[in-house]
Amino acid sequence: MSNITAPSETPRDVEQEAITDAAPALAGVGPEFLPAEAAEGVDVESMPPLKELSRLLPSKRTKIKAQVASIAQRAQGVDALRVEGVDESVLLNHLGEVADMIEAAETFVLDMAQDRDAMEAWLIEQEQGESAVMLAFSKASEALGN
């Protein structure tokens, strides 16, 4: 016999307004986690396709995930420098870190592109090249899944 009791009231059809989260979980993280429409100056629609990553050996997939984690960690460190009120000289002192992170993300994106030359040309054509690199990095990361 079951000990489950029926609810005392029937559910009401109540139309509720959508609630906007004032403090989303990914607020403040790197641009690689932003949606495609958030990347101004980047033509997302013309981005060359990335390699199909679903049919990789587990070791290769794990190695790629480790690369993604390393680059994402660097990106978060760079984002910490973008705090409002930070003196520009502090940012300039860390420009090498920013350059290294973008270079690592760029190399990863080019390696993940189906056509490396097409991806390189696409990155060069973008008005906001750094944003384009991080957007492509995000898309490549998403392709890995969990």
What does the mean pLDDT of the chain come to? Answer: 78
Is the CB of residue 53 less than 8 Å from the CB of residue 144? Answer: yes
Q: Domain map of the chain by residue range?
A: 58-144
Which is nearest to 108 in space by CA: 78, 140, 130?
140
Measured CA to CA, the distance from residue 82 to residue 30 in angstroms comes to: 10
Classify burial at 68, counting beta carbons within 10 Å of its beta carbon; exposed 0-12, middle 13-18, buried 19 or more: buried
Which pTM value belongs to this model?
0.66
- Supply the pLDDT for residue 84: 53
pLDDT at 4 over 80: no
Look up residue 34 and give its two tokens: 């932003």
> Which of 11 and 122 is assigned the larger pLDDT?
122
pLDDT greater than 90 at residue 105: yes
Mean pLDDT of 106-122: 96
